[in-house]
Amino acid sequence: MTNTTVTSSRRVWDPLVRIFHWSLVTCVLLNLFVVDDGETLHQWLGYVAVAWVGVRAVWGFTGPRHARFADFFPTPSRLRQHLSALARGEPEHHWGHNPLGGLMVLTLMVFVLLIGLTGWMQTLDAFWGMEWVQDLHEGLAEWLMPLVGLHAAAALIMGRIERTRLIKAMFTGTKERY
């Protein structure tokens, strides 16, 4: 049997990051799969998601260490080092987001902003009747689905590889290694 005794732990996700994450998940999943009619509730959920990304972006410069973009920004050299360590079978350990995780979370945030922007554009007279705006909104939303799936799967798989309870940490704030 694998040993699952906690060997070390550290508080990494402050309350803002955790509330941001699960609020964003709720708004985005509802808009993707439940309230996808473009009506008032859909629009409000979309704006709440966008507002959270805005708050999180400010927090990325002002928040505690692991919340900062500088802590996990996926520079080419960080990505190279991370990938070659994985390929060697000696995964690096990061208390914050690893470089690939950082790339994914930034991508997810950009997608939410672009989907919110194209959603809002559909409500403006200036874009009335322009089909490309609606097509772009729908197309981006369709791309977001597999990205979210990949993100959740990566959290499960990387957690196992790095022997770290990543998902639990998004609820409790404390990352445990075992």
CA distance 45 to 35: 9
Handedness of CA 17, 30, 101, 133 (dihedral sign): negative
In this structure, how many other beta carbons lie within 10 angstroms of the beta carbon of residue 159? 16
C-beta of 70: minimal distance to ligand HEM in Å? 12
CA distance 15 to 148: 22
Work out whether 73 is an interface residue with ligand HEM (CB under 6 A): no
- What is the CA 172 to chain-centroid distance, rounded? 17
Residue list 95-134, contact with ligand HEM (CB under 6 A):
97, 101, 105, 108-109, 112, 115-116, 119-120, 122-123, 134
Contact residues: ligand HEM, CB under 6 A: 17, 20-21, 24-25, 27-29, 31-32, 36, 38, 42-43, 46-47, 49, 56, 97, 101, 105, 108-109, 112, 115-116, 119-120, 122-123, 134, 137-138, 141, 148, 151-152, 155, 166-167, 169-170
